[in-house]
Chain A
């Protein structure tokens, strides 16, 4: 049934398209703006590329979060999902997986060519992608938890980045540190540890948020 939920999300996204495509387009456009704003010099870009890709990816993955549960909450579908026989935690986990497949994975695919365009050293491109894999997964988990918790709150759209961005900073710090490091093993392991911590905790928090939103 969890796969049916993820399938439903993907079919919806393919029909509506806008949210997930907008995130990847945002990522591409922001990455193209950096060289225009800073300097097109390869030496300068190469030094900054890792951080630019990470910041752009972090902000892009935030974009579709507000609609992640918001759309279902507004049209009554969230009640139907919660009454489907899945626990709220499973509903949250399914929606999180869909968010990563529709936003995190396309960002990961786009990040390689963008990093090369920004003249990042090819060896470091591999490290960047190795870091982005657990990084985008963790961002989806934290983001979904945040989105569920602000559901039904007034000015939820304003609260959401304030709640999610501080929690996402460790991912950003270790992700960019891995790209800059000569031996990035420790940073990559720390990113994996963050993912291991977020994996059980975030769906629990998101499930509680969904239950609270349905009961209010």
Chain B
């Protein structure tokens, strides 16, 4: 169980089931047994409603090479009502906003995917290997992003095969 402002770090070796757990929590997969509860009620009774309560970062970046950084976030911004410019600034991508993503490096694409999470005002963030490909400065931005989300009473569940710098976080070790 996760309360507002709390975080959970999911650890485990490759193939332990971290991504599967996050996809289950996102409602993308149905559990074969057991239930997923949100405030005591089955979260999967209304999948679109559950989807609006969360922001999901998969292990893929889900960005389109032909669109610019800002254009990539436009649909997510329409869904969440957030500001694209602000989200790009948070991940220090403002200078690259109008460049097509095919020119981005792997780390910059990851930062763009994180900027999409930052756009969302959803209470629960599900992050699958969020620090993959990030340099030290971007990892620090990610840390600030997670702290800000928790500061606003949001919850974060992050899966990683490497130790994540999450303060005061619960820990779940798989495998």
Contacts and interface: CB of A to CB of B under 8 A. Distances in A.
A5 B75 CA distance: 7
Interface stretch (A8-16, A134-142, A152-160, A187-195): A8-16
B67 A214 contact: no
Given A83-B26, A214-B29, A1 B63 contact: no
Given A84-B75, A85-B79, A75 B60 contact: yes
B60 A76 contact: yes
Nearest to A90: B48
Contacts of A83: 26-28, 51, 54, 56
A80 B59 CA distance: 12
B78 interface: yes
Interface in A57-105: 75-77, 79-80, 82-87
A15 B67 contact: yes
Given A11-B67, A15-B67, A84-B51, A79 B62 contact: yes
Interface residues of B, number: 29
B74 interface: yes
A166 interface: no
Given A12-B66, A214-B29, A79 B79 contact: no
A8 B75 CA distance: 7
B92 interface: no
B83 to A, nearest CB: 16
Interface in A1-52: 1, 4-5, 8, 11-12, 15-16
Interface in B60-76: 60-64, 66-67, 71, 74-76
A26 B116 CA distance: 37
Interface string B1-39: 000000000000000000000010011111000000000
Given A1-B78, A84-B79, A214-B29, 15 more contacts: A4-B79, A11-B67, A76-B58, A76-B60, A76-B61, A77-B63, A79-B26, A80-B56, A80-B62, A80-B76, A84-B51, A85-B48, A85-B49, A215-B23, A215-B28
22 contacts: A1-B78, A4-B75, A4-B79, A8-B74, A8-B75, A11-B67, A15-B67, A75-B62, A75-B63, A76-B59, A77-B63, A77-B64, A79-B26, A80-B58, A80-B62, A80-B76, A83-B26, A83-B28, A85-B51, A85-B79, A87-B47, A87-B48
Shortest beta-carbon contacts, A-B, top 10: A76-B60, A76-B62, A15-B66, A4-B78, A85-B52, A83-B51, A215-B29, A77-B62, A8-B75, A76-B58
